[in-house]
Structure 1
Amino acid sequence: MTTTTHRTTGGTATMRAVRLHAFGDPSVLRHETDAPRPRPAAGQVLLRVAATSFNPTEAALRAGLLQSFLPVDLPYAPGWDVSGTVVELGPGTTELAVGDRVVGRADAGGGAAEYAVAPAGLLVAAPGSVPLAHAAALPVAGLTAWQALFEHGRLAAGQRVLVNGAGGGIGGFATQLAKHAGAEVVATASPRSADAVRRQGADLVVDYTAGPVAAALGGEPVDLLLNLVPLGPADTAALVATVRPGGRAVSVATPVEAPAGSGVTATHLVARNDPQQLAALVELVDRGALVLDISATRPLADLAEVHRLGESGGIRGKVLLTP
């Protein structure tokens, strides 16, 4: 059996964690050494966290921009992605056992800490082919890419997909998953990310800093547009115009609209938690068909700086944070 050790303050178990006590800029993220350690409720498990990872949407949550539809109570520890080892079971929890190495999307957050609780039913066995900490790169970005391509985009072998913003975490998974499905992938990326995107399988990499993306397509339309970048109305319209009649446009960032009569179906995606899909992603990792593109691993105390980098466009791939 795995045993745990922890600090106590006044009889209460404590841990290191990054929490916010108010919404605002990255400075509201406080690295604390005496945060209360959570206890698992019925159906939950307590994890000793191996890592969490940064997702741009969590910067919006930190700033208070998501309170209207994703409210959180303060103080709050961010960290939707989490990988770790089960160290305690909540009452009546039977899906997992102490010592299990797992990964999952913790919708209530909490991954930015030494310990986190999560519903057992939302966790899956971590890939065995990579370090446990690396698995934290997978849940949010991987599930978003999967659902954008296959549920909303209905991508099929032989189709052509344009991944706009392929240098980020979601874009890297989308490029690989689309190639694995037999699609032709056109990917936009900055010169800094171009080589990585090519390694992930893109058939054509377009430098979006060099001019209009549509001009680089050679007049050939795409079956699916996957937009991962905040855009203004003119740029959005130009991208949607690259989609053939009857094709699809899926945006994870700026909502997109298809012109009347174009025959294009436009969707704004908010990804959901899906353990079965996550388990399929883990299987692809263990088969070597999906590579985790981790650009940096940093200590948990650096989370505020990682948020600053993310908001300035200074992050490529996935950044892990380890306690």
Structure 2
Amino acid sequence: MTTMKTARIHEYGDARVIRYEAVPRPRPGFGEVLVHVAGTSFNPTEAALRAGMLRAFLPVDMPYTLGWDVAGTVAEVGAGAEGFAVGDRVIGRLDGGGAAAEYVSAPAAVLVAAPASVSLATAAALPVAGLTAWQAVHEHGNVATGRRVLVNGAGGGVGGFVTQLAGLAGAEVIATASPRSTEAVLRQGADQVIDYTAGPVGAALDERVDILLNLVPLSAPDAAALVPLVRPGGRIVSIATPIAPAADAGVRATHMVARNDVAHLAALAQLVDAAELRIDVSESRPLADLADVHRLSESGRTRGKVVVIPC
């Protein structure tokens, strides 16, 4: 049987549990296509999964192949799979993982046409982070023209898309980022960047915001300190630490988990091809280096999206 290389775990633990090893190449099942993977991308939540921090509500069977983002070319079409042909360029979010490999069998229903204006490896950075950003901005944040929006954690992979989508929606965007991410965040359209390492974010705000989009884990005191930055009647959306304003603050708060939505993903791909949305890939690494990518992320030394390429 033909084999392929993959990055997978056989147990929970630190980055050393990630093994780069040969396994049999899969065949597509009913409703699936076999994708020749051009790239996946790293998402910090995958490090939490690998460490066992998510096992209570996201258990996985071992051995488990990492990789939720996929971009590649359809190599084989299984029975009952519709909408794609061999050779089609596709992207998608694979909730069961498996994209950290040379090939992956994926449900055709979660795939969409890849943007034609960027490489497939670059497009691999779009699904998970892009879907999270789209739903934070449009569904939960209801960002619109004239709104004043604070993006807390704009230097990360999701943050780059949130900053751009909020700007496209017509909002004034104030973003927090470290000095090493400031230039990139400004390129993505932020009207103001606050260096969160220099002191309290509120000290740099001249007035309160309508919407706070929080993208980073926070301590309880840090989360509480953000609430007064939102005007009464405003809203908070967090993809990380839940933020619970006091009842008398007059602020609505939502803790969101992004869902897989092919309509949203197709809309994001169209924005990329219309040159209205940039995919900021800070680094590309070979699949054999995935453990190092996990280590760098856990040490806080990654920026934007890191693409991982099977080779």
Task: Give the secondary structure class of the aligned counterpart of 1:16.
Answer: strand
Q: Within the alignment, does 1:237 sit opposite 2:224 as a pair? A: yes
Shift of 1:281: 0.3
Match of residue 224 from structure 1: 211
The AA in structure 2 aligned to 1:44 is E
- Aligned pairs for 1:116-127 (under 5 A) are 116-127=104-115
**Which of 250, 275, 285 is the aligned partner of 2:262?**
275
Paired with 1:187 and 1:94, the residues of 2 have a C-alpha distance of: 42
**Which of 16, 27, 35 is the aligned partner of 2:16?**
27
Match of residue 179 from structure 1: 167
Paired with 1:117 and 1:313, the residues of 2 have a C-alpha distance of: 32
Moved more, 184-193 or 223-232: 223-232
**Which of 54, 74, 98 is the aligned partner of 2:86?**
98
Q: Within the alignment, does 1:303 sit opposite 2:303 as a pair? A: no
Q: Within the alignment, does 1:18 sit opposite 2:4 as a pair? A: no
Shift of 1:14: 1.2
Find runs of 4+ consecutive structure 1 residues off by over 4 angstroms: none
Paired with 2:80 and 2:189, the residues of 1 have a C-alpha distance of: 45
- Aligned pairs for 1:257-296 (under 5 A) are 257-296=244-283
Q: Output one character per residue of 1:203-245: Cα deviation in whole Å (capped at 9) or x when no partner.
A: 0100000000011111x11111111111111111111211111
Task: Give the secondary structure class of the aligned counterpart of 1:66.
Answer: coil
Shift of 1:94: 2.1
Shift of 1:40: 1.1
Paired with 2:44 and 2:82, the residues of 1 have a C-alpha distance of: 34
Shift of 1:95: 1.8
List runs of 5+ in structure 2 lacking aligned partners. none
Match of residue 7 from structure 1: none
Match of residue 3 from structure 1: none
Paired with 2:232 and 2:83, the residues of 1 have a C-alpha distance of: 46
Paired with 2:29 and 2:145, the residues of 1 have a C-alpha distance of: 44
Match of residue 304 from structure 2: 317
**Which of 77, 81, 102 is the aligned partner of 2:69?**
81
Q: Output one character per residue of 1:72-96: Cα deviation in whole Å (capped at 9) or x when no partner.
A: 1000111000000001111121221
Q: TM-score, normalised by structure 1?
A: 0.95
Shift of 1:13: 2.5
State, as a whole percentage, how many aligned pairs show the same letter. Answer: 67
Q: TM-score, normalised by structure 2?
A: 0.98
Aligned length: 310
List runs of 5+ in structure 1 lacking aligned partners. 1-11
Match of residue 155 from structure 1: 143
Paired with 1:272 and 1:94, the residues of 2 have a C-alpha distance of: 22
Paired with 1:311 and 1:180, the residues of 2 have a C-alpha distance of: 31
